[in-house]
Structure 1
Amino acid sequence: MAHSLHPLFQAIATAPTEAALCDRFMDGVSDYFGVQRWGIYLLEDENRLASFDVVGVSDAFVERYEQIGRAVDPVLQYVLANHAPAHEELVLPTGTWKQSELYQRCCAEYDHEHIMTGPVVGSGQLIGTIHFARVGQTPAFNPHELASLGAVCSHLSACLAGLRKPASPPPNLLSHCLTPREIQIARLVAEGLTNAEIGAELWITQNSVKQALKRMFRKLGVSARTEMVAKLRDILQE
């Protein structure tokens, strides 16, 4: 088992898309946790499944889990309530895992000896889960692995939040080619003031207003007051 999660953290942090993020997680995570089954589930509103990627189980298992298992999964209920990772020995009395409804109805077919689940969060709510399972004669997940899963979930949550953040609108380049005084003049032109009225408003001469407008027309590539106002519409509405 790998000793450092940093290469996985780096792979997650540099994922350019949500799909690439899931691929990098799925490709790299099993070596760190010694699991034979693993997957990532992303949710939409009201915890409905939006997408998933799994290894070691079939799509039929995922469908059965969504229909039956999710409602009776004690580990998931802990994760939902606390936004923290958990495994079966943390939430169930010792030795009762294989008597649980989840194991009997979903996990027995795949010989899930131990399970562990972690949260992917965003905007204060659960937006996904990570699921691990060990099969056969394997040890239970330990506190170090639980903490490591929490770290992976934190990195996944942060990267997913960044990828889903709406792109910032591009800055209006026109506002950078005009001085604050010129924008002030443009606003008064948009209000319908004459050169004389603008001069009186700003305590400058009418000729100064005229010369300023010539410079502004040249910078903006326009030849009329109405054309200038139309080109600066977004800036003048701020």
Structure 2
Amino acid sequence: MANSLYSLFDAIARARDESELRLRFMDGVGEHFGVQRWGISFLNEQSGIAEIDVRGVPNVSAFLERYETVGRAVDPVLRYVALRHAPAHEEMVLPSGGWKQCELYQRCCAYYDHEHIMTGPIVGGGRLIGTVNFARVGDNPAFGAEEIANLGALCLHLSASLATLQVRSIELNSPLASRLTPRELQIAELVARGLTNAEIGAALWITQNSVKQALKRMFRKLNVSSRTEMIGQIHGILTW
């Protein structure tokens, strides 16, 4: 993968808590995507900003205030990401030549020389729980298909690592939790978040068949016959 994204995946996977996860992401991501400005944000249940970290933006407080006041509501890239839970850049969601005519650029991005933007989803519990945000300034090129693919992979790893860290915080003396191994709890968390077997396998670096066999074992342990039954039974010990 271009520019060794695997090293970033590994750093994210080795984070010991959510704070370290954010730090590893923020310290390592800029060089991999050729961006001058980047950030990560987490949303509350009302889709407002709960936490945010931004690098490279001068007078970041003023930028965030402007974006929240006049930018967020007219952000076509964020709207696409929130609707589809898939990454996007401005050329994907606007007609040719439409970027510099849109409200987001004219009312916000132009003030900070954000010539190109790209956003990716962090998901959990079937909803958007955060975003990864990139900007290129000046004469730097627009984002393309390779960057979109890489951002999709990165967001999958971020979402899965967050789920794993939350699983680790479960009280393992729970009678239900004690029936499942730590790996099975990871799989259960990702099932609850709506991931397919293929997506779970990619997130945990195991084969799709390994996920399928693990689910069969989990069903037997919990005496259930479907994913829905399983999640209903262990809902109380999951952290999503």
Fold in common (TM above 0.5): yes
Give matches, 1:46-195, under 5 Å.
Answer: 46-57=46-57, 58-165=60-167, 166-170=169-173
**d(CA) in 2 for partners of 1:67, 1:17:** 32
Structure 1 match to 2:198: none
Per the TM alignment, residue 171 of structure 1 is displaced from its structure 2 partner at its CA by 6.3
* Structure 2, gaps ≥5 residues long: 176-240
**d(CA) in 2 for partners of 1:171, 1:46:** 30
Structure 1 match to 2:185: none
**d(CA) in 1 for partners of 2:174, 2:109:** 53
Letter in 1 for 2:91: E
**d(CA) in 2 for partners of 1:22, 1:59:** 19
Query: Aligned to 1:47, what secondary structure does the other structure show?
Result: coil
Structure 1 runs, 4 residues or longer, greater than 4 Å off: none
Per the TM alignment, residue 138 of structure 1 is displaced from its structure 2 partner at its CA by 1.1
Percent identical residues: 63
* Structural RMSD (CA): 1.6
Give CA deviations for 1:60-79 in whole Å, capped at 9, x if unaligned. 21122122211100000000
TM-score by length of 1: 0.69
Structure 2 match to 1:220: none
* Structure 1, gaps ≥5 residues long: 173-238
Structure 2 match to 1:7: 7
Letter in 2 for 1:170: N
Structure 2 match to 1:45: 45
Letter in 2 for 1:151: A
Per the TM alignment, residue 27 of structure 1 is displaced from its structure 2 partner at its CA by 0.4
Give CA deviations for 1:66-97 in whole Å, capped at 9, x if unaligned. 22211100000000000000000000011121
Give CA deviations for 1:164-215 in whole Å, capped at 9, x if unaligned. 335133268xxxxxxxxxxxxxxxxxxxxxxxxxxxxxxxxxxxxxxxxxxx
TM-score by length of 2: 0.69
**d(CA) in 2 for partners of 1:152, 1:97:** 25
Per the TM alignment, residue 2 of structure 1 is displaced from its structure 2 partner at its CA by 5.6
Give CA deviations for 1:1-41 in whole Å, capped at 9, x if unaligned. 96221100000011111111111100000111100010001
Larger Rg: 1
Letter in 1 for 2:65: E
**d(CA) in 1 for partners of 2:131, 2:3:** 23
Letter in 1 for 2:68: E
Per the TM alignment, residue 151 of structure 1 is displaced from its structure 2 partner at its CA by 0.4
